[in-house]
Structure 1
Amino acid sequence: MSTDHQRIIRLVEQGHIPGDKLEQALSVSGVYPDSRAWRTFIDHLFLWLGGLALAFAVLFFVAYNWSELGRLFRFALVEVLVIAAIVGYWKLGTERMAGKVALLGATICLGVLLALYGQTYQTGADPWQLFFNWSLLILPWVVVGRFAPLWLVWLMLLNLSTLLYFQTFPGAFGMLLSYWDTGMYWMLFLLNTLALVLWEWAATRWSFMNQRWAIRLVALGSGYTITWLALISIVENALTEPAGLLAGIIWLIWLAGMGGIYRYRIRDLFMLTGGSLSAIVVVTTFLARHMLEGDPVGAFLLLALVVMGAGSGSLIWLKRLYREWQT
């Protein structure tokens, strides 16, 4: 719900605007989009869909016609499109949406070019190197582009390269990060948590980074990995071991940090909802791990009551916070 929408709702609740005039007030204030706003939205939607379709069409065209296309033609096709997209970004305007779509298309085509090079010359490089080198090469474009979705693409490539690296070298950093070879989850947690902290800081300095939907996606990556690590330590019954205890402590610190920051400083209900969900999942798993060894019927009944009670309590707390923030 937008700030203007919330302000109109408060005026209605305070009696300054009659209830039957709510729709008219929302239309006059611009909360409800008019025909011009809808045209702009549809124009941007088709622009994005067209740009992405064109970029991925290059990949599918080269892959489908691999045997019919010569080596020189394949490279020339992709390289020309990369150059054309960069020129389009410059000609269309660096601050216009069309220019940013062109830059995103160039980013995707560059990945196609790297994959084409590796497939043509059979360099023997591991898959993680493709995504890591891709992220390094597009970093100048990401910085110059000043566009939050490009930063998300860059972060996604780092996540993919980390994931593929640990699939190639399963024992990498195992002794340092975890007892159960969960180094991949620790690295992903550290990467996304650091990205979340830096993104929140950047959002206070540059307006183009102040995109809550993008920040929330990064927070999902951080929350998912630390919650999974906490669940592993519970399922493996390893909370008494150093690695399991560390996972539990880090999860508690993460949960307290998310609650404190997004309760008192930034005020984001989505983040608090994610933290509540993580707490419910971890606590329920902990209880199930120790209760299902006895009477499973009674344990399932009690666990159901715990989940319903925790979910209801979280909902009441979040609604109370919302009303508190509106006053």
Structure 2
Amino acid sequence: MTKITRLSIKLLARHSDLKPEELDEALDTHVYADAGRWFWLLRLLLPAIGIGFLACGILFFFAYNWSEIPKFGQLGIAAGAVIIPCVLSLIPSFTELIRKLLLTAAAFLVGPLFGVFGQIYQTGANAYDLFLAWCIFILVWVLAINFAPLWVLFLTLVNTTIVLYSEQVASGWSYTMLMFLLFIVNSVAVAGFVLADARMSGVDYPDWFKKTTALAAVAAGTVCCCSAVLDLDDKPAQVFYLVPVLALFAAVAWAAKRYKNLYHLTLLALACIAIVASIIIRAGFSTAAFLFAAIWVVGATTGSLIVLNNLRKVWRHD
């Protein structure tokens, strides 16, 4: 059951003649996890951990025994590590979750396969080429499976590709521009997942996944704003990066307050605290400026906690 159910039960208990025993029974039945739910969690958690350890074990096996394995053996092991999980995922007796986890492990091992190929044949490709090819070759799996952990892997690869491209090819990119691009990429991903979750039938992304992507977007936007503020003296044009980021932050804050989303308000509060602190530091770049910035962080964090806690109480009728 969701938190709405728990709050509904508590509100009903406050305004009714329910006895404490009846309230406890309702909470035990509809809210608190029983043995069956814990068993379901273990069935979900243990295979995921096992497959993850297996994929990591294969990866570290390469690293430790690399010099002792002939070239064809290296390619064979790397290719087999991708093929075997794909074949196992076709077994109908496995549950849908197990098959998705197997394909996620196979997608993770595509990267080592490209690394093996590039090292043996000395392709001369940059590191970003490896990650770009990795993204392209698992894109079909990502779209077809539509599995949250696989999306996390894909978005991590996309962000890594952009960072490596800025370091190895686009040498003219500033750090602020890089963070702005990461902010745009992750914001588009967040918007896509939220819209798909709301409007497409059969699509239900878990909350932890949407919160993780939102955290990545807000973190990139915050770093972008702080970097732009601190570099305004050397690069005044970077002020234009502030406008779209702050405008989107304001729009998200308005939507979060309207739909009573405390998580996004908390993220944006932390982002505003960091941005204002960078403005204070830029004003002086002195000991006094850093002192005032520290005081601001402590005071603003305390004030944000009070305001957010009051909103939580109002929204949840505590």
TM superposition score normalised by structure 1: 0.86
CA contact (8 A) 1:148 1:209 kept: no
Distance in 1 between the 2:301 and 2:265 partners? Answer: 13
CA contact (8 A) 1:192 1:221 kept: yes
Number of corresponding residues: 315
CA contact (8 A) 1:10 1:326 kept: no
Q: What is aligned with 2:240?
A: 246
Deviation at 1:78, TM superposition (A): 2.6
Q: What is aligned with 2:266?
A: 273
Within 5 Å, give how 1:145-184 maps onto structure 2.
Answer: 145-172=145-172, 174=173, 180-184=174-178
Deviations along 1:18-77, one digit per CA (max 9) or x if unpaired, are 456544322111x21111211221222210111011112111112221222222222222
Q: Which moved more, 1:9-18 or 1:207-216?
A: 9-18
Q: Which amino acid aligns with 2:108?
A: I
Q: What is aligned with 1:315?
A: 305
The answer to whether the aligner puts 1:287 opposite 2:280 as a matched pair is: yes
* Counterparts in 2 of 1:291 and 1:166: CA distance versus 1, 3 Å: closer
The alignment partner of 1:324 has SS state of: helix
Q: Which amino acid aligns with 1:296?
A: A
Deviations along 1:152-203, one digit per CA (max 9) or x if unpaired, are 211111011111111113524x3xxxxx453321211111111111111111
CA contact (8 A) 2:176 2:228 kept: no
CA contact (8 A) 2:177 2:224 kept: no
Deviation at 1:323, TM superposition (A): 3.2
Q: What is aligned with 1:86?
A: 86
The answer to whether the aligner puts 1:192 opposite 2:186 as a matched pair is: yes
CA contact (8 A) 1:159 1:188 kept: yes
Deviations along 1:125-167, one digit per CA (max 9) or x if unpaired, are 1111111111111111111212111112111110111111111
Within 5 Å, give how 1:1-327 maps onto structure 2.
Answer: 2-15=3-16, 17-19=18-20, 22-29=23-30, 31-92=31-92, 96-172=96-172, 174=173, 180-204=174-198, 205-238=200-233, 241-243=236-238, 245-265=239-259, 267-290=260-283, 293=286, 296=288, 300=291, 303=293, 305-326=295-316
Distance in 2 between the 1:186 and 1:292 partners? Answer: 24
* CA root-mean-square deviation: 2.6
Deviation at 1:16, TM superposition (A): 5.2
* Counterparts in 2 of 1:79 and 1:233: CA distance versus 1, 3 Å: closer
Distance in 1 between the 2:233 and 2:220 partners? Answer: 17
Structure 1: gaps of 5 or more residues: 175-179
CA contact (8 A) 2:175 2:227 kept: no
Q: Which moved more, 1:245-254 or 1:113-122?
A: 245-254
Deviation at 1:210, TM superposition (A): 2.7
TM superposition score normalised by structure 2: 0.89
Structure 2: gaps of 5 or more residues: none
* Counterparts in 2 of 1:26 and 1:117: CA distance versus 1, 3 Å: same
Deviations along 1:205-251, one digit per CA (max 9) or x if unpaired, are 254443221111111121112211211222234499232x2133233
Distance in 1 between the 2:25 and 2:207 partners? Answer: 28
Q: Which amino acid aligns with 1:89?
A: S
Distance in 2 between the 1:241 and 1:18 partners? Answer: 66
Q: Which amino acid aligns with 1:234?
A: V
The list of structure 1 runs, each at least 4 consecutive aligned residues, that deviate by more than 6 angstroms after superposition, is none
CA contact (8 A) 2:59 2:112 kept: yes
Deviation at 1:325, TM superposition (A): 2.9
Deviations along 1:68-110, one digit per CA (max 9) or x if unpaired, are 2222222222322322211221214686211111111111222
Deviation at 1:280, TM superposition (A): 1.3
Q: Which moved more, 1:138-147 or 1:231-240?
A: 231-240
Distance in 1 between the 2:111 and 2:294 partners? Answer: 47
